[in-house]
Copies of this chain bind each other. A is one copy, B any other.
């Protein structure tokens, strides 16, 4: 049972969401879409789009990605994107990775 969680977010996460929201809003305006129109296309409510554009961290990621995609924002664009670069790396290694991880000892490996 979700027991009254008071979630906290790092500043980085907050900024990331706020910036993404601002980017979405700008893209929407450039395309001359009203909030209602974009919300309809994304299959969400207008209030939801408002929260996304404000950078609300509680929005579901699927809704954010959908909206971003519709207005033409590429989270993982072609080949220049740093994330895509990292991911290429990932997918190559993924097949040979063990499914679980165990540290050598119980010593906390807190190296970062």
As a 0/1 sequence over residues 86 to 112 of chain A, the CB contacts with chain B under 8 angstroms (1 = contact) are 110011011001100101000001011
When all copies of this chain in the complex are counted, the total is 2
**A64 part of interface (Cβ distance < 8 Å):** yes
Closest B residue to A28 by CB, please name it: B101
Query: What's the interface size class on A, roughly?
Result: 35 or more
Q: Which residues of B contact A44 (CB under 8 A)?
A: 7
| 19 chain-A/chain-B pairs, Cβ below 8 angstroms | A5-B43, A10-B65, A13-B65, A13-B66, A15-B76, A26-B93, A28-B101, A29-B101, A31-B112, A33-B101, A57-B61, A57-B65, A58-B60, A61-B64, A72-B112, A73-B83, A75-B83, A80-B82, A82-B82
